[in-house]
Structure 1
């Protein structure tokens, strides 16, 4: 039995727990504290230290994985979603390691959720290409190929037709902002997922994010060639994925980031 600690940092809350990375079971209570107002780096680090202090079996030999709402490259946060802009370009992994006085694995939050679904959830028995999407304020995404994470796939930002940055049109926040019915919103998602099919030919698409608990309201409207299912791990996905990546010695280093692939891919033909 391999134990690891997973910490999931979000714009409103920071969660953590001790995890059995063989079974995907939480071995401690899931602890949660509010993300400090403004989401400043030092303030968030302080909350993470507090949570780690409350998690049992946090010895120096227990791996720690931390997931964060940003593109993560070589331990640096290259973007910032719902946290301070001071994170942009910050050597965040080093900041945590200095503050915690130990090594960590530091990854993007959607990547952690996608990896968790491939290890313990909806994609556990799928050996080929899986795309996980998280529908919320934006559209987060993760690519898993044969149980290996391809990090930093920002698939919410693709252009479809004349719409730039399609997440602004199809994220759950767009449904709320425009007061769309489930069917109207599903029409926007249909175009989005058809585009992912065309670009990547995945074997499975997983729909995550908080709205996945309402999957029965909208997913039956989606008509795709690719099987598409709701995520199963929900609020524990980030914790489980971060812990599993830490235990497996993975992160954003082994595989080239996918954002270059996305930039080179377009649904519009070249001029």
Structure 2
């Protein structure tokens, strides 16, 4: 049975009573998802609980500790990885900011969880966790060097170099959606102007068309020429942004996830064509453009991989 089936069915396969395990936790604005994993990536159990509202650090910690006790009552997990909706510090200890959570500023989340649970803990940005998850068990499992872009409300990113997550010396590398695509483009919340996010995020699609991505996808599937034209232009914009990233990182694979990726069949061809037009063959030799495989479980899976890397 594959990972996605295990996650959906919440089944517990046979397991060695002494084999070490870890917990992967994806902390989101509406839900906290937990998974218990073996070293080969087998998911033994999952749990989903609502994120407390307001989601203060103290309330979230209490909820997480209770959920950890529930999913690992026998205390088989020896380490915990947590993906948070915002940047962590380079050491994986401090949640510097958590987007859409109340009162999160330089929260010592790893220290708190270690003190409450007695387990080694590490944290990372949720997009970085998603990239690590896809690299471990998803679309990137055959590659050592890859990048992930999540096309959602914003555009998240992750960089995997030589099989390891690259976060830079301050822990904030990989903000791939914030690179400049057009110097005179729409302003970005980051302070940039004309960032890639302003052309390929869900919010950008709404601004440009007045429609939702799934509506445009359904129209394209029905052969609507305006929707098909939009997705072609969308792919060209995304391909132009990816061209810059390819020249810098020369990845083996680019993985595209997030809600907009549901329409990948309509924009991947123009992404590929734009990359081929803009990037020298020597910089894109063997490059694979792939759709993410783990869906909204990627962050939890990647957080578990982070935990394994502690050991």
Which of the five TM-score ranges fits, normalised by the shorter chain? 0.7 to 0.9
Return the index of the structure with the highest Cα Rg. Answer: 2
Q: In the alignment, does 2:26 pair up with 1:15? A: no
* Aligned counterpart for 2:303 among listed residues 242, 246, 263: 242
Relative to structure 1, is the Cα distance of residues 198 and 25 closer, same or farther in structure 2, using a 3 angstrom cutoff? same
TM-score using structure 2 length: 0.72
- The answer to whether 1:122 aligns with 2:139 is yes
Tell me whether 49-58 or 239-248 shows the greater mean CA deviation: 49-58
Q: Work out whether residues 120 and 310 of structure 2, in 8 Å CA contact, stay in contact via their aligned partners in 1.
A: no
Which structure 2 residues correspond to residues 25-64 of structure 1 after superposition, within 5 A? 25-28=42-45, 30-56=46-72, 59=75, 61-64=77-80
Shift of 1:131: 0.6
CA spacing shift, 1:48–1:122, aligned 2, 3 Å: same
Unaligned segments of structure 2, at least 5 residues: 1-18, 186-192, 212-229, 277-286
The structure whose RCO (Cα within 8 Å, separation 6+) is larger is 1
Q: Which has the higher helix share?
A: 2
Shift of 1:12: 2.1
CA RMSD of aligned residues (A): 2.2
**Contact 1:66-1:107 at 8 Å conserved across structures:** yes
For residues 186-232 of structure 1, the C-alpha deviation after alignment (integer angstroms, 9 at most, x for no partner) is 23312221221233222211111233344324323312243210111
Query: 1:170–1:192: 8 Å Cα contact kept in structure 2?
Result: no
TM-score by length of 1: 0.82
Q: Is the 8 A contact 2:156 2:175 kept in 1?
A: yes
Aligned residue for 2:65, secondary structure, equals helix
Q: Are the aligned partners of 1:64 and 1:246 in contact in 2 as well (CA < 8 Å)?
A: yes
Query: Which residues of structure 1 form unaligned runs of 5+?
Result: 251-271
Q: Secondary structure at the match of 2:63?
A: helix
